[in-house]
Structure 1
Amino acid sequence: MSSLKLLIYAISAELGSLLLLLSEKTSLGLFLLYLTSHGLASALMTVVAWGVLPSRFRTPKVASWLLIFGFAFFIPAIGLLTLLSGVLLGVWLPNSLRQQPFALVAQPYFTPVQAKPGSGFRQIDLKLLLSSDDAPDALRVQGMLVLKDMPARVTGKLLRESLGDSYEDVRLLSYGILDQKEKVITRDIDRAMQLLERAKESRRYRLARHLSELYWELNYQDLVRGDIRRITLEKAAFYADMALMESPQDAGLWLLRGRILLAQENLAEAQQSLVFARRLGLSANLVNPWLAEIALQRCQFILVKRLMGEISDDSQFTNLNKSVEYWSDHGVSLRRQG
């Protein structure tokens, strides 16, 4: 309602200014009165027009306001009409041409169909399913397809066992899943190697760290075995050392190096790397489980209990929580009894 009133006032002031402009009398006072009336009409019209503009056209505020006022003031009468028509057209036209992304559709008619027994995949233990001789082959194939989307770290052992399955489709799926996961990481390794060969010194640290992580991932996901695993761990350790030469304060890389050496059964150097990572600021939740594993292999059960006791109770790893609880309450006494 206030905009409508301002619009009426603007039109009235502009009509008054036009009457003064068309008057037969000529004097400076009459001309100043015309400018005042026309300026007031232009200002009121500017307020109305600026208020109905879309928000994206209102910035910058002062510049957009001055532009509208100048258009209305320096083009008497016609400027106001054109401005009003342009604003109305700019508001109405986009709305009339805009395509609506949604539309009403008829309600679908649902016809219930009884599923055939055994036609779907049942939520049972995949290991029991794939190793069962009584399970239908089609159901076992569906179980393999479920394994495809699961982390290789969890499914690697089961997939390798399925390589010797009596059903050919299961064997082929096992090989295909393992090969696909390995090729994804291998392609990343080849790409990083090419970048490292022509990289500037400032980028060598990040590329070497990335290569160490990729080689470690092959082992972590259980995608390599035997001599290939040994070579993979050697490569991971090599690039970890290369990166640490560039950035010896990288605590996370010292942790990775410790885990690589632990996988190589180099307990002494693994412990040194893990202790150094702890000194550089990594929390006990991240480092102590691996230090405890080294102590456990050395049968240092008191040390295991102390290391696990330093881990906070709010650790996000469920399995780690169970280990902490075990060593806090029963660890040493059970080990002594054994």
Structure 2
Amino acid sequence: MPPDHASEEVVPGPLAPDRAKSSLSRALFAAAFVAEGLCVVALLDPDQWGERLVAPWWGWHVLGISAALTSFRFRFPESYRDHPWLITALVLGFSTPAPFAGLFFLWLFQSILSVPSEERLARRYYFGERHVLTALPPATGNPRQHLSVLEVLNGRDNQVRRKAILALRSVDPRRAIPVLQKAIQDGDDQVRLLAQTQYNRILASIEVTVKTLEAEVSGRAPLGHWIQLAEQYHELVFLGLSGDEAKFVYLGRAIELLEHVLRTEERHPQARLLLLKCLVRSGRLDEAARALEGLRRMGMRAEILLPWESDIYFQRRNWREFRRCLVAIRDLDGHDSRLRGPVDFWLGGEGTEPVLVGTDAA
């Protein structure tokens, strides 16, 4: 599914240097090589160690490094030409007294930057408003054409699928986990291994956080620790990282923690909203409805509460009220665009047949 803003203009990635710049870069590098060679000749000539030739020796060296810097300026990846580390490379290149050492350093630095790293690879992807990871098209292609990561995983190019999984390392776990769960079933061994490794890393990180918070939470612990631990329990359920039995255990623990917080601070909005989410996900609908009304009396915005209210009516199979909530969500100004797809599915949108048509049964 393409993101909502798939029709927007997207600036393509950096273009390869044109022929003129490439030729100029090679010519400057050759000149730098010759200048550094003359510097070596000046250093090896025993008659050139007088005071007069100290300046020519440095002159050849500075000339060679200057030509090399200009040459490599065209060779550095465009996204790194203004990178702060590039300044360090230039300073070290100029300050290297030994001939050819500066050239070698600049060549090595440029080679390292040319290797696709995790962060540079992740820049070629972005998430749409519907939590769809989308790869930027090649510079020679149509900048309006996008592929979701799920379409990439369904493709035949193993390298592209592997790179898409690597790019997920820089993505929020909420968005990455559903894609990783699909990639774990991929037909390519490396794709499965990369996805499973990253999935295990996310799960281990959450489990370590949970155990740390469990050790810190006590009767005298700050309320923020209780809420944070409840959020982690809810996260394990929300991300699908717990089984059916563990799901209700985690939600039960989260509800107990939040009830403790509310006994201390009754009008804590964050704790009340998280309690509503946990009650809805655990199927305790009557308690969830009471929590919803409490938040509404506190003045919480409708765009936050309506999705959870619609979930309560959906689980109760109250289609009339469910439809009313969806209509209210659709009519809200500035509502979460991620809800547009489900709302259009049920009510009917552009190119979508409505599911709830004339439903009046409660």
Give TM-score scaled by structure 2 length: 0.53
State how far apart, in whole Å, the 1-side matches of 2:147 and 2:328 are: 38
Q: Quick one: distance in 2 between partners of 1:220 and 1:108?
A: 49
Of 301, 314, 325, the match for 1:296: 314
2:238 maps to 1:224: no
Choose from 280, 284, 294 the match for 1:276.
294
Tell me the SS of whatever aligns to 1:110: helix
1: CA distance between counterparts of 2:347 and 2:313? Answer: 13
Q: For the structure 1 residues 170 and 230, does the alpha-carbon distance in structure 2 shift closer, same or farther, using more than 3 Å as the test? A: farther
Please list, as runs of the form range in 1=range in 2, the aligned pairs for 1:1-338 lying within 5 A after superposition.
Answer: 106=70, 108=72, 110=74, 124-132=147-155, 135-197=156-218, 200=220, 203-308=221-326, 310=328, 313-320=332-339, 333-335=357-359
Q: 1:289 to 1:150 in 2, by over 3 A?
A: same
Q: Which amino acid aligns with 1:254?
A: R
Contact 1:204/1:243, CA 8 A, preserved across alignment = no
| Alpha-carbon distance, 1:217 to partner | 1.6
Over aligned residue pairs, what C-alpha RMSD do you find? 3.5
Instruction: After TM superposition, give the deviation of residue 321 of structure 1 in Å.
Output: 5.3
**Count of residues in correspondence between the two structures:** 224
Per the alignment, residue 128 of structure 2 pairs with none
CA contact (8 A) 1:237 1:257 kept: yes
For each residue in 1:275-307, what CA deviation from the matched residue of structure 2 results, as whole angstroms up to 9, or x when unmatched?
212122211111121111211232323323443
Alignment partner of 1:282: what SS?
Answer: coil
Displacement, 1:195? 2.0
Contact 2:347 2:357 in 1 (8 A): no
Q: Write the distance in 2 (CA, Å) between the matches of 1:252 and 1:109.
A: 51
CA deviation after TM superposition for structure 1 residue 324, in Å: 6.5
Write out per-residue CA displacement over residues 207-239 of structure 1, whole angstroms, 9 at most, x where no aligned residue.
211111111122223333333333222222221
C-alpha change, 1:314 and 1:331, in structure 2 (3 Å) is: farther
The letter for the 1-side match of 2:357 is: S
Note if contact 1:251-1:278 (Cα within 8 Å) is conserved in structure 2: no
Bigger helix fraction: 1
Change (3 A) 1:328 1:175: closer
Deviations 1:236-293 (A, max 9, x none): 2221222222112123322211211211122222222122121222111111211112
Question: In the alignment, is the contact (CA less than 8 A) between 2:303 and 2:335 conserved in 1?
Answer: no
CA distance in 2, matches of 1:335, 1:220: 30
Check 1:108–1:266 CA distance in 2 against 1; reply closer, same or farther (3 A cut): same
Q: 1:252 to 1:324 in 2, by over 3 A?
A: farther
Write the letter of the residue equivalent to 2:313.
A
Greater RCO, CA 8 A, separation 6+:
2
Q: Offset of 1:315 from its aligned partner?
A: 2.6
Report the secondary structure of 2:217's partner residue. helix
Letter matched to residue 185 of structure 1: I
- Counterpart-to-counterpart distance in 2, 1:127 and 1:323: 19
Structure 1 counterpart of 2:338, which letter? N
Q: Give ranges in structure 2 of 5+ residues lacking alignment.
A: 1-65, 78-123, 125-134, 138-145
Name which one, 1 or 2, has greater alpha-carbon Rg: 1
Q: Deviations over 1:132-176 (max 9, x none)?
A: 4xx232222112112333333334233223323332222221221
Change (3 A) 1:165 1:320: closer
Identity between Structure 1 and Structure 2 (%): 19
